[in-house]
Amino acid sequence: MHIADIKVHLVALPARRDHNWASKMATPIGHHAIIEITTDDGIVGWGESPAGATWGGSHGKYFGESPETVQVVIETLLKPVLIGADPTQISLIHAAMDKQVKGNVYAKAAIDIACYDITGKALGVPVSTLLGGAHRDSIEVAHSLGIMELERCYEEAEQAVAEGALTIKCKTGLDAERDVTLVRELRSRLGSGVKIRVDGNEGYASVAEAVRVTREQEKYDILLCEEPVVGAVGLSRVADRIDSPVMADESAWNTYDVLELYRLNAAACISLYVTKPGGLYHARRLGSLVEELDMYNDIGGSIETGIGNAANLHLGAAVRTATLPSVCPVSQPAGSGGPEVAGVYYLDDLVTEGFRFEEGRVHVPSGPGLGIEVDREKIERYSV
C-alpha cells in the first residue's frame, strides 16, 4: 500500500461562543487544517492540525503555526517526499518528514494522524491498539470556561455541571483579583463535589504574583495549577512555594522538555498533546517517558473538530498515566442530541455521529482507525 494523494482542506467551524485564554484573545477557535490522505488501495485517512499563530513554546522555543502555514508546508515540502511511501511505516514517514523540513510539528502531526487512521482501517483495529492497547474506553471531560465575564462563567459552569461535567477548567492569568473571585464563587455555587483546575497560560507577570494568586485559590480546593508563568525555571519556583500540583503545558512539547521539567522539579504533571510532539507516534513515546518519571498527565489540545479529537481520545486510551480530566470536546454534529454546553465548543462538526458522553466522560470511538466517518458535505460547507 502506498500514498497516492494528499489534500489539505482549510475549514472554520461555527463556535458556540468565543473561547479565549491569556495568550490568545483575538483569533477565533475552529479555523483548522484538515488533511486527507488517499492510498493506491483506495483507503482514506483523515488528520487535523489545529495550529495557532499565537501558540508556541516558552521563550519562543517553538514557533506558532497556522492552518495556512500547515497547508504550504504539506503541499510544497512534505507531499513530494510522501507520495509513494507506505503509510503504515509511520516511523519511516516521520524520518522522511524530518529530513525534508525541521520543526513544523503541527503539519507533521496532521500527516501522522492520517497515517494511523489508514493503518487502523487496513488492519481492522482502532488507533489505540496501534499505540499499544487501551487502558480505558473514555476520558473524563474538563469543561473549559475560557476568559469571559464572571457572570457568564458562573452560568456556563452551572449548566455544564447540570449536564454531567465533573470538572471545570478556569482560564486565568490576566487579572489576579478576577482569578481568585472566579474560583471562590465557583466553589460556592458548584459545591465540593466538582473539581476545579486553573490554567494561567503563562499569563502572570511574575512568580510572586502567580504564587500569591494560587495560594488564595488553594483555599477553595483546586485540582492543579497549570502553566502560571513562562518557562521551566519559573514553574520550578512556583512549584516550590505552593501546595497544588503544577502542570506544564507550553513548557512541555517533547521528551527533552519533560526531562528538563523533571530535573528542575518544575511540574508534577504535563498536558500531553498529539500535536505538540509532532503526532501520535512521538506523543505515545512521550507518554511512556512520563510514566517512567512517575509523573502523570491529561490529554491537551486546541479544541479540535471530531477528527483531531478522535486522535486525542485514542492517545488518552493508550497512555496509562492519562488519568486527569481533559479538555477533550464532546464532538457532535448539529442536531445530534448531545449536551448543549458540557464539553461543547462548536455548533456543528465534521463527523457524522456525535461522540458518546456519559457520567462526565467522553467515549473513545471504537471502530477501525480513528473510528469516525467524516461528512464531506460539512468539509465543503465550512471551507475557507
CATH code, domain with 165: 3.20.20.120
Indicate if the alpha-carbon torsion angle 49, 55, 60, 63 is positive or negative.
positive
pLDDT in tens, 286-328: 999 999 999 999 999 999 999 999 999 999 999 999 999 999 9
Q: Are residues 133 and 107 in the same domain?
A: no
- The total number of structural domains in the chain stands at 2
pLDDT in tens, 326-361: 999 999 999 999 999 999 999 999 999 999 999 999
Cβ 237 vs Cβ 213: under 8 Å: no
Per-residue pLDDT at 24: 85
Q: Are residues 84 and 212 in the same domain?
A: no
From 91, 124, 157, the end of a domain falls on 124
CA 188 to CA 173: how far, in whole Å? 21
Q: Are residues 134 and 44 in the same domain?
A: no
Q: Is residue 108 part of a domain?
A: yes
Q: Are residues 95 and 71 in the same domain?
A: yes
- List the Cα angle 209/19/206 in 5-degree steps: 10
Q: Which domain holds residue 252?
A: 129-363
Mean pLDDT across the stretch 194-214?
Answer: 97
7-11, 18-22, 43-47, 302-306 — which is least confidently predicted? 18-22
If pLDDT is split at 50, 70 and 90, which confidence band does 15 have? very high
26 pLDDT higher than 90: no
The answer for residues whose C-beta is within 8 angstroms of residue 232's C-beta and 6 or more apart is: 58, 248, 251, 257, 260, 261, 264, 266, 267
Q: Are residues 143 and 68 in the same domain?
A: no
23 pLDDT higher than 90: no
Mean pLDDT across the stretch 262-269?
Answer: 98
DSSP class of residue 245 equals P
CATH value at residue 70: 3.30.390.10
CA 329 to CA 343: how far, in whole Å? 5
Mean pLDDT across the stretch 115-134?
Answer: 98
How far is residue 133 from each of residues 200, 314, 318, measured CA to CA in Å?
33, 9, 5
249 pLDDT higher than 90: yes
